Amino acid sequence: MSPRTSRGAVPDDGSAVAATPAAPAPTAGDASGGGQVHRALAILELLGDPESVGLGGPEGTAVEAPTSFGVVEIARTLGRDKSQVSRLLRLLADAGFVEREAGTLRYRIGTRLFSLGVRAVSKRLRDEADALVEREAALLGERVEVCVRSGGSAMTVSTAAPDSELRAVGWVGRTVPLSCTAGGRALLFDLDTAAIARLIVPEGLTATGPAAPRSLDELVVRIAEDRARGWSLARHEMDRGLLSVGAPVRDAAGRVVAAVTVGGPDSRIDPVLAEVSTGVLRAAADLSVAIGAPGAPPAPPPDHPARPSDQKGRSVVNVFQYFAANSAQILNLTIQHAQFVFYCVAIGSIVSVAIGLVVSTGEPNPNRFSFDWWATGIREGSLLITAAVLTVPSLALFVLFLPITGLGVTTAIIVLTIYTLYTVLRNTVAGLTAVDRAVLESARGLGYGRVRRLLTIQLPLAWPVILNGIRVTTLISISIAVVASIVQGPGLGKLLLTGITRIGAANAFPQVLIGTVMCLVVAAFFEIIFAIVQRLTIPRGIRV
């Protein structure tokens, strides 16, 4: 209730007030049962909202309008007979709709009416939330949830996912901690430090993720930051690699009664964080208005987004807009992708060439047992193992390493490096063993030992073949590196996976197209690098 002063002084007995509004004219229904209902409703409206009948001072004054009234005051304000008002007040008090203050004998709104109102708002909240989450899930291409406070937890009361969802679904009735989730912190927006402590301290801080708040002071600071931003953000707090965004839903009195939240893998949400946060704020504002909060009426729900085939022309136009708005982020992801591929190919090439140099010693002498027998066995076994690994689907291999190395860059580098081994190793072995044996025998006759022959004769002659193997494995790795985004790997896979899993949502097509084009840009960059290296390191006469 806004602060206002009363237009008249209330006497000591709490009865009449001066300068009351004009009494309404009697109606024909006053003599009937309908008239009794109307008079009772008028009394309830006066007790619940005295400003609606003209009581209270101008906006911005320090004194609020009265919250309780005496019988005479009610009768004079409404222009009714005192005995009628007294009888109706007794009936309403017996039913629990009004209460009588023990000290002043004045009447105020009862808890039963408040309870009915809360239940009505709760039912309206659930009904409106169901429609809203369906709409926003289709627009954002992400799972959308509405949650309410339940003790020290946030409980989901409504949830919906896009048709294209390829991941595990949420469920109604699930509870999560208030402290380390975006929806939970949004529910705490209108509480002070003492109120937050009363909710959190009894159950303790649930530090489930690596970035979850570890103390009450840290939690209060994060809530203050979220409140200043207007929406909450939880990154790696509920679990490593997860990101969620939330915004508060307010009722007619301005109290936070629910929160709208969107969450998912950081690699998928972060590239479209601005879009998701805008959608969450829009959804929270629409839901607030729908349950009675002041504000402009929500816009009618847009039609379900057309499928990509139906919006091709519009999507092509959006590609340029999306690239212009996110050019810095796209460039950063492209650089990450190139660096990621370079590191993995470099590690894999060093390992493969080293193995090839050790095991490529020529054919073993059938008449005597020597190191060549062992080298040949290691060579063939290495080729067999790396070839077998290459046949494993990249998606499966990334997932298989999760229990060992977990989410993150480590898993991405290990798996991609493994995929680089076979091609480089095969070309290294082929190049070294293809050197003419007559040349090697001549070097032996000149006194060249095994290592000297390998480094000064075999390796330079085999280098064009080895370099070609590195070039091929680099191009293959550019595409495999995209899959690494499912384990929180770096690079353009974040952009592509976000677009693919949000097909039908805004900006999904631009994300897929731009991610694909930037992969081609990375491939062209490496092709130029290899052309320069080939020209500088390989004599013209032996270039392949």
Residue 541 confidence (pLDDT): 63
- Is residue 24 scored above 60 in pLDDT? no
User: 244-292, pLDDT tens digit by residue?
Assistant: 999 999 888 888 989 999 988 777 787 778 888 888 999 999 888 888 7
- Is residue 234 scored above 70 in pLDDT? yes
User: 70-105, pLDDT tens digit by residue?
Assistant: 888 888 888 888 888 888 888 888 888 888 877 777
Which residue stretches of 371-458 are H helix? 371-390, 394-400, 402-405, 409-433, 437-445, 450-453
β-bridge pairing 107-109 and 256-265: unpaired
User: 344-354, pLDDT tens digit by residue?
Assistant: 999 999 998 88
- Cβ distance 265 to 243 under 8 Å? yes
Share of the chain above pLDDT 70, in %: 75
542 versus 98: the higher-pLDDT residue is 98
β-bridge pairing 175-177 and 232-235: unpaired
Strand partners, 153: 150, 177
Residue 418 confidence (pLDDT): 92
Structural tokens at position 147: 């949650």
Rounded Cα gap, residues 225 and 379, in angstroms: 59
Rounded Cα gap, residues 107 and 43, in angstroms: 10
Q: State the chain's mean pLDDT as an integer.
A: 77
Which residue stretches of 291-393 are H helix? 312-325, 327-359, 371-390
Residue 29 confidence (pLDDT): 43
Rounded Cα gap, residues 398 and 24, in angstroms: 77
In sequence order, the 6+-apart residues with CB closer than 8 A to the CB of 486 are 267, 395, 398, 399, 493, 497
CA distances from 373 to 312, 382, 384 (A): 62, 14, 17
Structural tokens at position 467: 């370099």
DSSP conformational letter for 69:
B
User: 181-224, pLDDT tens digit by residue?
Assistant: 888 899 999 888 888 888 877 666 766 778 888 888 888 899 99
| Residue carrying structure tokens 């004054």 | 61
Pick the range with the lowest mean pLDDT from 205-209, 330-334, 433-437, 474-478.
Answer: 205-209
Residue 499 confidence (pLDDT): 80
Residue 193 confidence (pLDDT): 87
Rounded Cα gap, residues 215 and 350, in angstroms: 47
Residue 542 confidence (pLDDT): 63
Encoded amino acid at 209, one letter: G
Residue 374 confidence (pLDDT): 65
Residue 108 confidence (pLDDT): 83
Residue 522 confidence (pLDDT): 94
Residue 270 confidence (pLDDT): 79
Q: What count of other Cβ atoms lies within 10 Å of the Cβ of residue 543?
A: 11
The string over 6-44, giving b where at least 16 C-beta atoms fall within 10 Å of a residue's C-beta and e elsewhere, is bbeebeeebbbbeebeeeeeeeeeeeeeeebeebbebbb
Residue 174 confidence (pLDDT): 76
- Is residue 11 scored above 50 in pLDDT? no
Rounded Cα gap, residues 65 and 54, in angstroms: 10
Residue 414: which pLDDT band, with cuts at 50, 70 and 90? very high
